[in-house]
Structure 1
Amino acid sequence: MQFLWIKCEDVLPGVGLGVLTVALFLGAFFFYHEVQDSPEVERNCRMAAEATNNSEEFKMKGHSAFIVGYTGAVGKVLTKELAKAKLFKKVLLIGRREIDLDDDIGNEFEQKVVDFEKFDDYADIFKDVKYGFCCLGTTRAKSGAQGFIRVDHDYVMKSAELAKTGGCKHYNFVSTQAADKNSSFLYTKTKGQVEEELKAIQFERLSLLRPGVLLGEREESRPGEAVAKFFLKPVAYLFPTAITTPMDVVAKAMINNMLAPVDRPVELYENKAIHQLSGVSKGCSGSKSQDGGDKK
């Protein structure tokens, strides 16, 4: 068989061999990251188990919290998980617009519309709110390079500064896998810079989470991400903690981490650790999930 000047019988074996080689290489890469030991797996799994035991005592203290970026994909999932857990007497949802909340989101959730360009004018929102979650973020494709930096760096840092001044003790930030202030890529470089600057604010407790490729439903369409997720579905099934993270896993990890006692002011959780903290990781087969059921 011949296509134009190309003889398929001469080309196809080489192409097939090339595809097989790439597939084997990628398989080995994902397998390595899946089986690679997490340095603190016992600690992470213990924290996930302790979270359930600590939740009732936590509720009784009547704390308040805020979520910056609650209209985004991770923020929405976190809002739903906090609504299920009913841990706070009040949760302030901070964003640039109001959205229709699900019916199961209780009255303790209050939307606060702000102009991020005039964030200082809304400093009172953060007064006496002890727990903060930052899920704020955009993409370069959507906002341009400068717009991306404005949202993912400037707005995040301003929210952290206002929160610290208002009395926030525990600030949780959703970063990204491979975040590095010295990276040559804008996305990972910006996230790495934010991590370092958040440390300088010196919260009593700072939790930095670095999830992999986020899996879940998004309101906005991102064609490139949609294609990537299509090809990553089998990877996520075979190697669930290698490079992907369901959004509900990120949310549950943040909640469990908040509920568990810690012995350090700054915590950095890579992708595998996030799965363990969530209470649904196969790597924590001996512990209990957040809802009290046995792990699979």
Structure 2
Amino acid sequence: MKKFYFILITSIAFIFQYIYNNSGYFINTISENSEISNYKPYNFKYYNMSQGAKCIVIGGTGATGKHLIRELIDSKFVQVTSLVRKEDLSIQNEKLKQVVVDFDKLEDYKEEFKDKDAAFNVLGTTRKQAGSAERFREIELGISSKFADLSKESGVRSMHLLTSTGSNPNSFFLYPKVKGEIEEKMKKEGFHYLSIFRPGFLDRGVGDRWIENVFIKVVSPMKVSTLAKAMRIEAENELLNSPPSNTVKIYSNKEIYEIVGEK
């Protein structure tokens, strides 16, 4: 029986790999009112970045988040505020401000959102880690919604969101459904700029998700460091080149690799 499941999963993985290599995934990767960014050399005309832009992050202690924090520290952002449940002592820098918060009472930390130019949501968990489907929804959608509300109310210009391939609010499955609902929530906020990253299988460097451990043996997953770099580049590109208001862009693997200059 185990052999049968292994063969089945391997076959599915090869199908995903084929789609990944040849079509940039089977979903609509670009929203109707957006186009892929043209990554021109930075012109430094946008005053916020030239004077020093600030950003705020949730999910900064996760697999992708750790790399994103390092990318932002090494970027042109002058201050990086990371909202965390527990301070990450492995990352220390004068640019980085880690704020230990109660995410169930995120509204109590509204001051941390003031004067921020960009927000990053790389929050991620699983049903198993959350303990139940209800708690998973509370964590993912609940915290993301509060984060979006507080960001918008405080005048944050751009939101950069990590979801996953297949995100769809009408999905039958819990994970893509909730991720799709988060995307819709962000769109309704009406940020000046919203970028949504929908990567496929990720190489997180951890082994707590068994299905990823199987797929990783037969497909070429994206490194979380690559994803984090793309999100940082996209955020800088937006602040420096100031696209039209209410721009929404959605990126799958193909476009993510293009941003960082790979493949």
TM-score range, shorter chain: 0.7 to 0.9
Task: Name the counterpart of 1:270.
Answer: 252
| Secondary structure of the corresponding residue to residue 177 of structure 1 | coil
**Residues 55, 259 of structure 1: 8 Å contact kept:** no
* 2:23 equivalent among 36, 39, 48: 36
- Code of the residue aligned with 1:113 in structure 2: it is V
Work out the CA distance in 2 between the residues paired with 1:88 and 1:223: 33
Compared with structure 1, are the counterparts of its residues 29 and 228 closer, same or farther at alpha carbon in structure 2 (3 Å cutoff)? closer
Q: 1:257 Cα shift?
A: 1.2
> Aligned pair 1:123/2:110, yes or no?
yes
The equivalences for 1:86-97 within 5 A come to 87-97=76-86
**Residues 10, 215 of structure 2: 8 Å contact kept:** no
- Code of the residue aligned with 2:185 in structure 1: it is E
Aligned residues: 244
- Code of the residue aligned with 2:202 in structure 1: it is L
> Aligned pair 1:70/2:56, yes or no?
no
**Residues 126, 166 of structure 1: 8 Å contact kept:** yes
Task: Name the counterpart of 2:136.
Answer: 148
Question: CA RMSD, aligned part only?
Answer: 2.7
> Aligned pair 1:222/2:199, yes or no?
no
Work out the CA distance in 1 between the residues paired with 2:12 and 2:125: 32
**Residues 73, 80 of structure 2: 8 Å contact kept:** no
Q: 1:22 Cα shift?
A: 9.3
| Secondary structure of the corresponding residue to residue 203 of structure 1 | coil
Normalising by the residue count of structure 2, what TM-score does the alignment of the two structures yield? 0.82
> Aligned pair 1:245/2:222, yes or no?
yes
Q: 1:61 Cα shift?
A: 2.0
- Code of the residue aligned with 2:90 in structure 1: it is L
- Alignment deviations for residues 71-100 of structure 1 (CA, whole Å, 9 cap, x no partner): 111110101112222x11211011111121
| Structure showing the higher helix proportion among its residues | 1
Work out the CA distance in 2 between the residues paired with 1:61 and 1:25: 49
**Residues 67, 133 of structure 1: 8 Å contact kept:** yes
Task: Name the counterpart of 2:121.
Answer: 134
**Residues 203, 216 of structure 2: 8 Å contact kept:** no
Work out the CA distance in 1 between the residues paired with 2:223 and 2:90: 21
- Alignment deviations for residues 157-192 of structure 1 (CA, whole Å, 9 cap, x no partner): 101100111110101110111000110110000000
**Residues 9, 215 of structure 2: 8 Å contact kept:** no
- Alignment deviations for residues 91-115 of structure 1 (CA, whole Å, 9 cap, x no partner): 101111112133xx42010111110
**Residues 54, 77 of structure 2: 8 Å contact kept:** yes
- Code of the residue aligned with 2:251 in structure 1: it is Y
**Structure 1 unaligned blocks of 5 or more:** 1-14, 237-243, 283-296
Task: Name the counterpart of 2:97.
Answer: 110
> Aligned pair 1:99/2:88, yes or no?
yes
**Residues 215, 229 of structure 1: 8 Å contact kept:** no
* 1:207 equivalent among 176, 195, 198: 195
Work out the CA distance in 2 between the residues paired with 1:276 and 1:73: 22
| Secondary structure of the corresponding residue to residue 206 of structure 1 | strand
- Alignment deviations for residues 190-213 of structure 1 (CA, whole Å, 9 cap, x no partner): 000111111111011111110111
Work out the CA distance in 2 between the residues paired with 1:145 and 1:164: 28
- Alignment deviations for residues 133-166 of structure 1 (CA, whole Å, 9 cap, x no partner): 0111211011121121111100011011001111
- Alignment deviations for residues 221-261 of structure 1 (CA, whole Å, 9 cap, x no partner): 514145225424xx21xxxxxxx321111111111212223
Work out the CA distance in 2 between the residues paired with 1:54 and 1:216: 34
| Secondary structure of the corresponding residue to residue 74 of structure 2 | helix
* 1:184 equivalent among 126, 148, 172: 172
- Code of the residue aligned with 1:210 in structure 2: it is R
Task: Name the counterpart of 1:239.
Answer: none
